Chains A and B, each alone.
Chain A
Amino acid sequence: MTVSGFAQILVVLLVPALLALPLGRFIARIANGERTLLSPILAPVERGLFAACGIRAGASMGWRGYVSALMVFSVMHFILLYAVLRGQYYLPMNPLHFPGMSPRLAFNTAISFLTNTNWQAYAGETTLSPFSQMLGLTSHNFLSAAAGIAAAFAVSRAFRKGSGANGLGNAWVDITRITLHLLIPISIVLTAILIALGVPDTLSASTTVTTLEGVKQVIALGPVAFQEAIKNLGTNGGGFFNANAAHPFENPGVLSDLIENWTLLLIPFAMPVAFGVIAERVRDGIALLVTMVVLLGLFAVLLYAAEAAGNPLLHALGVVGGNMEGKEVRFGVALSSVFAAATTGTSTGAVIAAHDSLMPLGGLVALFLMQLGEVVPGGVGSGLYGIVVFAIMAVFVAGLMVGRTPEYLGKKIGAREVKLAMLAVLILPLCILGGAAYSLCTASGLGSLANAGPHGLSEMLYAWTSATANNGSAFAGLSADTPLLDYGLAIAMLLGRFAFLVPVLAIAGSLAAKPSVPPGQGTFPTDGALFVGLLAGVILILGGLQFLPALSLGPLAEHVSMLAGHSY
């Protein structure tokens, strides 16, 4: 560990945390239907779309209406994406004549991009045509991100004074305005910067060169830059290439890496600020942001410490320095570590280093950040509604301690809300532990493992964690394109997204219908350091208690046996 390593972590985390303040206010303007910089151009587009949709801009929904809108939207997109992936061979812009995906792989991939997971059981450059990458995947990066942010808007509105049961907003208006005012403009600016830094953007799928030693090298290309921009901005994470953002064409240098790392943190950090503005409780929103930044910073330092220490089994052979297996020289250990923490702390799942080759404790941090429920800071939108669930738990715990009815932002938290919050949170251990345990009892699951010993258990645990948390990164040695994992992980992704989202929107509906009570003497303040500490404790203890036994059999056991000189 070096001072410059810590400085690199600070630069990566603090820049987006500071930008979150103005951006959060901007996002709140989008939610509140106010004019933005681009309204002169976009307002007529919006009006045209709303007319074509047959909706009135003022028509607000209740929670059931909001859920069914998101469901219908998702089902329709699943059908479109599945058809594009299956029919790729017959569709245009397929210069390398790639065949369509198999039914089970197309099912897995369509669910994966629909749920903002971007788990990839295929290698992009050897599987997908430019057409599938653009019309299939890039567009879904926008829409799944917009759907997540829209749901967070609905939850934020539930805490407004006098919101009313039908005061959650209109899903179509939200999705449209988020895409037009937020995601598209920022993506275009990012794309231009990335191209200037060397990220290719072309319709040709490859080019062939002859090296100085006379060997032919085929270099995969494609419309990379635009997809790269939205994949980070929308915390999607699905790489154009198999190696994701470790690939020099996705991430050519240090500056591109900083920009990509900042953008994947940007909206997740801005959402609690937007929440505070929408709910008219700015300080409470900032308390959520502080919790996210502090916890993520802590875990980034832990991950960096593990990687910088290096591999003692290689040191014994005469190798010096930190763990460089699976890492790129241009990024080095510190930037690779903070990216690994940021991509698992948000539900992005883009990687600039091979997570399978992280040190045991480095991999443990990545796993744990996902298992916390993707709330530090989580995905765009989903991180915010996730941490609100934990905030409800935190005030519930505080209420138990002092024997008063808990309230959050002036809304009384009753038995119904706490039950629904528990229901949402329990999806994680159910899918992660259940799925990994089942897979490891089958011959097919064991056959997928690439590494032996405790690391094999970590590989399978990571896959189910990543799918359920809608992250999408992988211990990529695992062979994921098998019937068990294609179908099993797809179901985990669906449950992780929707079995979490529906109870959360139900909580929003129930809170929206309640009157707002003014703070009294017994009200637990939710905008100060005490609440930040309590919330962090609730997040860590809920995460830790559920997953510690599994983690001790995987990464912890591997760490101890590594120190004892064992290999597998």
Chain B
Amino acid sequence: MLSSLRPAFVTMLAFTALTGAALPLAIVGGAQILAPEKADGSLVIRDGQPVGSLLIGQNFTGAGFFHPRPSATVEPDPKDSSKTIPTPYAADNSAASNLAPTSKALIDRVRGDVAALHATSVPADAVTTSGSGLDPDISPENALMQADRVAAARHLATDQVRALIASHTQLPLLGFLGGARVNVLALNLALLNMPR
């Protein structure tokens, strides 16, 4: 046991300094020089102001924007810090709903969301929360379901909006890996740039 003390101590000091300080700091420095936009979170700048990150979903509620998926994130209640209040897309506090498939809370929530959509057949991603609560994407079917509403609010032809969705749809990698998806922030930014 005692003979292990010196090598244990030396190994701990050396590798904590190397893997816990020197290397991570060197990588932060290298990343800031070689790829600063990505290292700082892929922020989107519009009129000189950051309006979000392309990788992080944000909450859109207006009729003229595409809406993201429901989100289960919360923030502490300012009135009582032991409680939390639902705050969709709180990007400083990622969280899933963690509701079981047999949870009444899940089923009631989905029933309410389906009713609000006035649709008979709803793509699953439109009424389910994501694993992070920050999903930046929706499925193309979910976007198409919203096309009429967005077009009406913006006084655009539905076909124009559908074409915009099609041009913003990312297909699965190599045609089969992952899900087809539309980045909500990129799509909404493109909406703002459309000529009326």
- Which residues of A does B touch, CB under 8 Å? 4, 7-8, 11, 49, 52-55, 68-69, 71-73, 76-77, 80, 123, 125-126, 134-136, 138-139, 142-143, 172, 175-176, 179, 184, 188, 191, 195-196, 198-204, 206-207, 209-213, 215, 217-221, 223, 225-227, 230, 241-243, 246-249, 252-255, 257-258, 310-311, 313-314, 317-333, 335-336, 351-354, 356-360, 450-455, 458, 475-477, 558, 561-562, 566-568
Contact = CB atoms under 8 A, between A and B. Distances in A.
A246 B135 CA distance: 9
Contacts of B101: 311, 313, 323, 325, 357-360, 455, 558, 562
A348 to B, nearest CB: 16
A454 B188 CA distance: 42
Contacts of A253: 178
B12 interface: yes
25 contacts: A49-B11, A126-B92, A136-B20, A138-B19, A139-B20, A142-B15, A201-B31, A212-B185, A215-B58, A223-B28, A226-B27, A241-B94, A242-B93, A246-B131, A248-B57, A254-B172, A310-B124, A314-B107, A326-B131, A328-B137, A329-B179, A451-B100, A475-B98, A567-B102, A568-B100
B137 to A, nearest CB: 4
B24 A138 contact: yes
Given A53-B7, A248-B134, A249-B41, A318 B19 contact: no
Contact of B91 (A217, A330, A332): A217
B87 to A, nearest CB: 10
- Interface-central residue, A212, A254, A359, by most chain B CB under 10 Å: A212
A326 B132 CA distance: 8
Interface of B: 1, 4-12, 14-16, 18-21, 23-25, 27-28, 31-32, 35, 38-43, 46, 49-53, 55-62, 65, 69, 89-104, 106-107, 110-111, 114, 119-125, 127-139, 172-173, 176-179, 181, 185, 188-189, 192
- Interface-central residue, A72, A126, A196, by most chain B CB under 10 Å: A72
Nearest to A310: B124
Given A195-B31, A357-B100, 8 more contacts: A204-B40, A219-B56, A314-B106, A321-B124, A323-B124, A325-B128, A357-B101, A568-B102
Contacts of A226: 23-24, 27
Contacts of A196: 35, 38
Contact of B96 (A209, A354, A558): A354
Given A223-B24, A317-B111, A325 B102 contact: no
Contacts of A567: 102-104, 106-107
Contacts of A188: 23, 27
Task: List 3 tightest A-B contacts by C-beta distance, closest first.
Answer: A246-B131, A139-B20, A332-B179
Contacts of B40: 200, 202, 204, 207, 221
Contacts of B89: 217
A335 B122 CA distance: 22
B55 A243 contact: no
A531 to B, nearest CB: 34
A356 B101 CA distance: 9
A567 B104 CA distance: 5
B123 A321 contact: yes
Nearest to A451: B100
Given A139-B15, A179-B19, A198-B55, A247 B4 contact: no
Contact of A243 (B12, B25, B133): B133
A211 B95 contact: no
A239 B148 CA distance: 40
A455 B100 contact: yes
B131 A76 contact: no
Contact of A319 (B20, B122, B172): B122
B192 A55 contact: no
A453 B105 CA distance: 13
Contact of A209 (B20, B50, B69, B128): B50
B98 A354 contact: yes
Contact of B107 (A76, A135, A313, A353): A313
A136 B6 CA distance: 21
B178 A73 contact: no
B6 A54 contact: yes
Nearest to B42: A198
B195 to A, nearest CB: 18
B16 A80 contact: yes
Contacts of B114: 317-319
Nearest to B49: A210
B132 to A, nearest CB: 4
A221 B94 CA distance: 12
A77 B12 CA distance: 7
A125 B93 contact: yes
Contacts of A257: 178
Contacts of B24: 134, 138, 223, 226-227
Contacts of B69: 329
A448 to B, nearest CB: 12
A477 B99 contact: yes
A257 to B, nearest CB: 7
Contact of A246 (B91, B96, B104, B122): B96
Contact of A49 (B10, B55, B98): B10
Nearest to A351: B131
A55 B173 contact: no
B59 A211 contact: yes
Contacts of B61: 213
A80 B35 contact: no
Given A254-B173, A352-B131, A558-B102, A326 B96 contact: yes
A474 to B, nearest CB: 9
Contacts of B172: 4, 254, 332
B6 A135 contact: no
- Interface-central residue, A68, A211, A356, by most chain B CB under 10 Å: A211
Contacts of A328: 130-132, 135, 137
Contact of B52 (A72, A201, A217): A217
A73 B184 CA distance: 49
